[in-house]
Amino acid sequence: MRAPSYHYFGGLLGLTLQTHTNAFIIPNHNAKIANNIISSSISLSMARRGLETLEEGATPLPGGMSLYVKPAEDGKSVGDCPFAHYVRMVLHEKGLEYDLLPTTQENKPNWLLEGYGGKMPALRHRKECYVDSDVIAQYLDFFFQEPNMAVAKEDSAKATEAVDGFFPAMAKFIKHSPNGDDEDREKQAALEEKLQTLEEHLSDIERTGPYLTGDGERFTLLDCSMAPKLYAMDVCLDKVKGNPFDLKAKYPAVRKYMDEVFARKSFQDTVEYGPETVVWGWTSYH
């Protein structure tokens, strides 16, 4: 049997993401990776130079990709998962072809259940499989570099601060019921605190472009990660929470940013699940 061939990316700064040619035999090797997108971007960009010394054939080629994602209510069409949407935006931006496989618990392949805890989104790329949206996005950006979507090292701290805690705050507020009770108001205040932080970041006068990191000129993985989450918030503030505050009036820079990223082709072409599925996803237990 051929000796296992590992290649590491991001090892220089402690990122432990690795691939293995027999990924399905040694299961779940990437399940413990919990680095956030920004710190791993830094590690990966630092590690890029190391790739040149790797054994021939270690760099994966495009093609043979399948993305397993949460389905919608019908069990067949694409569900509302913002993490899957994030990965699809990255695939789209990079012009990578893939089979999109909305997959119910019952239809999950055994290798996914046994080797990767059935987690989705899961990107299978020939014999490799990756779970966790940040890990998948890092993998794609590392090996398919056009366009480079990594967050620049010097921009990471500010960008982290701007989005830190947004999604959990949003999820807690959207999921809370009934609307308008004391707890709901507390959760709304927590979300609005995060929106205010984002507003201040996006309103920085030194920024020249619309996107999240650095001067805002470059569309990065962080924009792909945030766009679907903001979309879910946008839909649910209206259709689940009854518009408890005027987003456009209170957070104009956030609204502008949302409109900008929602207009992007990689978003438009991957948002086919639409508001109804978002409402279903956020209001039902499944």
Residues near ligand GSH (CB under 6 A):
70, 81, 83, 105, 120-121, 132-134
**Helix axes of 37-51 and 156-163: crossing angle, nearest 10 degrees:** 150
Q: Which two tokens mark 179?
A: 């609307």
Q: In the complex with ligand GSH, which residue's Cβ is closer, 132 or 260?
A: 132
**DSSP characters over 196-263:** HHHHHHHH-TT--SSSSSTTS-S--HHHHHHHHHHHHHHHHHHHTS---S-HHHH-HHHHHHHHHHHH
- Which SS3 state, helix, strand or coil, does residue 100 take? strand
Q: Which two tokens mark 220?
A: 């990065």
Q: In the complex with ligand GSH, which residue's Cβ is closer, 47 or 120?
A: 120
Q: In the complex with ligand GSH, which residue's Cβ is closer, 5 or 105?
A: 105
Compute the least distance from the CB of residue 1 to ligand GSH, in Å.
32
Q: What angle do CA 81, 82, 87 make, to 5 degrees?
A: 100
Compute the least distance from the CB of residue 225 to ligand GSH, in Å.
9
E strand segments, 74-168: 99-102, 122-125, 128-131
Compute the least distance from the CB of residue 123 to ligand GSH, in Å.
10
Compute the least distance from the CB of residue 101 to ligand GSH, in Å.
12
Q: In the complex with ligand GSH, which residue's Cβ is closer, 35 or 43?
A: 35
Compute the least distance from the CB of residue 80 to ligand GSH, in Å.
7
**Helix axes of 182-203 and 156-163: crossing angle, nearest 10 degrees:** 150
* Dist. CA 231–CA 219, nearest whole Å: 17
Q: In the complex with ligand GSH, which residue's Cβ is closer, 23 or 84?
A: 84
Nearest residue to 132 (alpha-carbon basis) of 80, 83, 98, 97:
83
Q: In the complex with ligand GSH, which residue's Cβ is closer, 25 or 113?
A: 113
Compute the least distance from the CB of residue 181 to ligand GSH, in Å.
26
